[in-house]
Every structure is written in structure tokens, then in C-alpha cells.
Chain A
């Protein structure tokens, strides 16, 4: 269990994390979702006591991280895959970590096998691919068999098989009763892994809810109508209580389902060229939610049809 309360981090006059409060519960996967630069990593570093909060506090299992007698046995973290010396072997890296918290050395080979790195245990990590580095990072996180696991962008650099492996692992850890806290900037990834979502943008919490709640609240759906008699149809549907938004040559209708729209229009003998139910994806819901808070935006036209998945 991780409790974040009123957490704030300022760098000069720039606020990276702004009065953030949330709880990461045991026995489920909590996704920490936000665009790059939203404050995810900064928050995670403060959880681990690496960065000093400007205000607020974080506790893990009821106490500050640095007050734990053997933090690696209590919290396992993957922070950045690059927190390694390129000249040291994977086994040596795990060996010194194990020694620091009096974790039996036998556990080193166990976690190496668990992440599939036994064959390269003696290889210097500078020769590792991004994916292998990431696997080693996960081995580090699991070294102390910790009840709390914090993974910052664990699927970065992994191939599809590796991504699925992390997903399964995260679910399994949660089922074992552990607290699993995973950050990502990919909604699609979180949709498959997380039970609970904490969405952050520009250092503020934008949503803190279960995945079904998030879908209900943020994934909008509407009926797309194409007709040569736009004005008449719009008036008709509005008269029936729908919310109608003209977009280019289409009408986006909310508040009526496709069948009702078709029947109303048919009764009046008007023409329909298209009648489609459009459900926006979680990705779109996430984009809409965070669009105001994205720090660097590339101007690209997104295709609304791509929303159908």
C-alpha cells in the first residue's frame, strides 16, 4: 500500500508535481498514466525517497521509504533501465544489491532465471539491448521478493513477447496480493494491465478511478449521421431531445441511439447517407483528458474514424 498525500515538487518556479494525493491499494495493478513530462517519474522518485518533496508526504506500508530497515525487501522498483554501470555484469549488479539488504545470494540466480537472463548473467550490461536492460531492471525490482512493486515504464524497449510477459507478471504479482504500481504513457497498455487508474497531467491528478469507471466517464460515444438535409435532420433530432453537433458534413448525435435516429428520420421521409455508432477508444479518452496538459504537442490531424476499434 502506497499513500501519497499532498505531494508537491517544485524545480525553481516550475511545478513538476502539484499537490497530488492518491492511494495505491494492495492486490491490484494500479496504472499511473500520463503524457511524458506529466510528473510520473518525479512522483515515483519521491515514493522511493530519492527526491525530496517540496511539500506533502509519501508512505509505503505506513512508513516513509527511508525508514524501512531493508527497503529492497519491502519495495521493489524499476526506475530507469539505465541505472546500471555498463562495465558490471548482470549477476554482479544483483549481487551488490542483494548484499546491501542481506538478501541471500541464491535469490540472484532465481530472479535471473525468472526474467530469462541466466545465459547472459556474466555479460557486462553495457552490451545489453534496451529490452535486456529492462528485464534486468525487473529482476532488480523482484530481488527482495517485495510486497510492493513499483515499475516506471516497464514495457519501454520490450518486444511484443516481452510486453506480454510484463503484463502477465504484473497481473500475477497483484493476484499474489502484492501492491503493483506501474507507470506508462500508453493508455492501450494500461487498458490491458491495470485494474485501477491514476491519471496525471502537468503534475495534477486528472482521474483516480477503476478502469470501468474511467471508460464510463471518459470514453464518449455518439451516432454519426450523414444526410443531404442536414438542417432539417438536426432540428428533428434536437426536437427529440438529442444533442447535435455539426462536424464538417456530418452530424454527431448524442442522447439517441442509432435505431432511434434512423426511425425518427425515416418517419419524416428524410434521406440518410450514413448512420454509424462511434465509440471512442480509451486512447482517445485519455488524449481528451490530458490534451490540455500535454507539455509539448505535435500538430497532427487525427482521423476520427481511427477511433473505432
Chain B
């Protein structure tokens, strides 16, 4: 057995390395940006959004153009031009959830909070990176779907121009809605901390519950349907919704944003208090 001798103490300024001021939000943002793009799931989610969103819109426009141009059509082409985004929502939800839950699932959250102890900054940086990416991806996807689908509409003489009522708004609205959904999923992820559970809840609320409450009777049922996050938020992403009961684009998006903000605030409060 060896006992090492007391080492000679060398004076080392404990703060020699430490700057006087904090690295600032841009450093946290940069760290989250690197983190976000250095796992494969991010690129795959964005690619999936584009393929599903733009691809399915083009496909449904191609197959419905002839019917929409005929006299028996009882829907507007405007309801079809962002149709693929309804399914592309899944990718935004997956990406939003993973941004948070993958940190908890792997224990990475401890490394994150050791590097940046101010949790509000971490959450804000994550939100900026996530919503920025989803807004751009959602908008680009919606435009690609529009150009793809409209080519078939134009061939049947029912083409829609970007200047038509609500078309341009629905392109940017698609980006906004994707960003909001991602944030909603991230907030739920922050509360639940478990990928599968958080995903099931968000997908369930947006796709299953959101569509089932439409069947509820009376004014109470109507309002429940209008206020469900997926129903309230998606109006802004389409020039003319299929379901006329839903809230108008901007009022709907305001309701949706408020819902996201409440969940995010709850998530933030829990995040601040919780042991990592």
C-alpha cells in the first residue's frame, strides 16, 4: 500500500480563466444550435416534413384537379393547396418533443445545465432554435407544395395566384403553425420528460381528440372543437379550411399561441424548480 505524499501547493488563481461577464445569450444560442443539428433526427425530421408536406400537397392536387375544375366540385382549390401540411404536422411535433426529451432520456440535461446554469436562457435558446428552424422549414415546404400543386390546377384552368385572398398568408402561416406546434410539443416534453409519453399526448390531442370533439353536439361542442390547439392553429395554414366551423385564421392562431404560451410557462416553472 502506498500513501502519496502531500503535494506541494502551487498558487493558481481560481478565476484566471473566468471572464468578468457572462458569455451572453448568443453563446447559449450557438451551443443549442450545434446540439440541435449534430443529431440525425433533426435533419430527418426536416426532410420528412418537406417530403410529406410538399409531396402530399402536390399529389392530392394532381389527383383532384380535374374534379375541382368540374361543375360537381363542392370544395375550393384553396382547401387543397396546403393539404400535405396537415400530415407534416407530425414531423414538427416529433422534432419539438425530441429537442427536450432526448436530453432527459440520455441524462444530457445535466451537462446542459452544468454548462449554462441559468435555465431560462437554456429554454429560450432551445425555443429560438426550434421555432426558427420549423418556421423556415414549414414556409419553404408550403411554398414547394403550392408550386407543385398549382401546376396541376393551372393545367385545369383553376390555378391560384399568390396574391389571392389568404394564399400568401397560408404559406407563412404554415411556417408559423409548424413553429407553434414544435413549441407546444417541447413544452409538453418539458412537463413529461419522456419521449413516448409526450409524443402520444401531443399527437393524441392534435389528431385524435381534435377531430373527435367536432362530433360533440351543441354550441358547447362547437366551441370545444374551435379551441382545440390543432383546430385553432391550423386555420392560419390554409387559404380556406375544409371545416367552416373553425375559427378564422388570425383569431384561431391567437388562441393557439395563447395555449402554447400557457403550456410553455408551466413547463418553464417546473423546469426552474426541478432537480436535473
* Segment with Cβ contacts to B, from A142-150, A237-245, A263-271: A142-150
Given contacts A50-B114, A89-B38, A100-B115, contact A28 B6 (CB under 8 A): yes
State whether the Cβ of A165 lies closer than 8 Å to any Cβ in chain B: no
State whether the Cβ of B17 lies closer than 8 Å to any Cβ in chain A: yes
State whether the Cβ of B275 lies closer than 8 Å to any Cβ in chain A: yes
* Segment with Cβ contacts to A, from B29-37, B174-182, B234-242: B29-37
- A71:B34 contact, CB within 8 angstroms: no
**Mask: chain A, 69-93; 1 = CB below 8 Å from B; 0 = not:** 1111110010110111111110011
- A65:B2 contact, CB within 8 angstroms: no
- A77:B114 contact, CB within 8 angstroms: yes
Question: Which of A73, A88, A102, A171 is within 8 Å of B4, CB to CB?
Answer: A171
**Mask: chain B, 105-116; 1 = CB below 8 Å from A; 0 = not:** 011111101111
- A83:B110 contact, CB within 8 angstroms: yes
Smallest beta-carbon distance A197→chain B, Å = 11
Given contacts A71-B117, A177-B12, contact A83 B108 (CB under 8 A): yes
- A92:B38 contact, CB within 8 angstroms: yes
Given contacts A71-B115, A87-B39, contact A101 B27 (CB under 8 A): yes
B21, B23, B107, B111 — most chain A CB neighbours (10 Å):
B111
Interface majority SS on B: helix, strand, loop or mixed?
A: loop
Residues of B within 8 Å of A, CB-based: how many?
50
- A74:B17 contact, CB within 8 angstroms: yes
Residues of A within 8 Å of B, CB-based: how many?
66
- Measured in the bound complex, the distance between the Cα atoms of B113 and A45 in whole Å is 11
| A174 nearest CB neighbor, chain B only | B7
- Measured in the bound complex, the distance between the Cα atoms of B31 and A240 in whole Å is 73
Q: Which of chain A's residues have a CB closer than 8 A to the CB of B64? A: none
| B28 nearest CB neighbor, chain A only | A100
Q: Which of chain A's residues have a CB closer than 8 A to the CB of B2? A: 191-192
Question: Which of B19, B34, B111, B273 is within 8 Å of A102, CB to CB?
Answer: B19
B10, B18, B39 — most chain A CB neighbours (10 Å):
B18
- A27:B9 contact, CB within 8 angstroms: yes
- A282:B14 contact, CB within 8 angstroms: no
B21, B102, B115 — most chain A CB neighbours (10 Å):
B115
State whether the Cβ of A26 lies closer than 8 Å to any Cβ in chain B: yes
Q: Which of chain A's residues have a CB closer than 8 A to the CB of B110? A: 45, 48, 50, 79-80, 83
Question: Which of B4, B34, B115, B276 is within 8 Å of A101, CB to CB?
Answer: B115
- A175:B7 contact, CB within 8 angstroms: yes
Q: Which of chain A's residues have a CB closer than 8 A to the CB of B8? A: 27, 175
Q: Find residues 93-117 in chain A having any chain B CB closer than 8 Å to their own CB.
A: 93, 95-97, 99-102
Question: Which of A28, A72, A96 is within 8 Å of B7, CB to CB?
Answer: A28
Q: Which of chain A's residues have a CB closer than 8 A to the CB of B21? A: 69
Q: Which of chain B's residues have a CB closer than 8 A to the CB of A1? A: 14
| A188 nearest CB neighbor, chain B only | B1
- Measured in the bound complex, the distance between the Cα atoms of B215 and A109 in whole Å is 60
Question: Which of A48, A147, A179 is within 8 Å of B114, CB to CB?
Answer: A48
- B18:A193 contact, CB within 8 angstroms: no
Given contacts A70-B18, A71-B114, A84-B106, contact A195 B28 (CB under 8 A): no
- B118:A96 contact, CB within 8 angstroms: no
- B23:A101 contact, CB within 8 angstroms: yes
Q: Which of chain A's residues have a CB closer than 8 A to the CB of B276? A: 45, 50-51
| A92 nearest CB neighbor, chain B only | B38
- B3:A100 contact, CB within 8 angstroms: no
Smallest beta-carbon distance B14→chain A, Å = 4
| A145 nearest CB neighbor, chain B only | B17
Given contacts A50-B114, A61-B15, contact A87 B4 (CB under 8 A): no
State whether the Cβ of A186 lies closer than 8 Å to any Cβ in chain B: no
Smallest beta-carbon distance A217→chain B, Å = 14
Q: Which of chain B's residues have a CB closer than 8 A to the CB of A230? A: none
Smallest beta-carbon distance B87→chain A, Å = 25
Given contacts A83-B107, A175-B7, A193-B4, contact A99 B18 (CB under 8 A): no
7 closest A-B pairs by CB: A177-B12, A27-B9, A177-B10, A66-B117, A100-B31, A92-B38, A96-B34
Q: List 25 A-B contacts (CB under 8 A).
A: A27-B12, A45-B110, A45-B276, A49-B114, A50-B110, A69-B23, A71-B114, A74-B15, A80-B110, A82-B106, A88-B35, A88-B39, A96-B31, A99-B30, A100-B116, A145-B17, A147-B13, A147-B14, A147-B16, A147-B17, A171-B7, A178-B12, A195-B7, A211-B4, A309-B1
Residues of chain A touching chain B, judged by Cβ–Cβ distance below 8 Å, are 1, 26-29, 45, 48-52, 61, 65-66, 68-74, 77, 79-80, 82-89, 92-93, 95-97, 99-102, 140, 144-148, 171, 174-179, 191-195, 210-212, 215, 281-282, 309
Seed contacts A68-B18, A87-B40; 7 additional CB < 8 Å A-B pairs: A26-B9, A45-B276, A50-B114, A84-B106, A88-B39, A100-B30, A192-B4
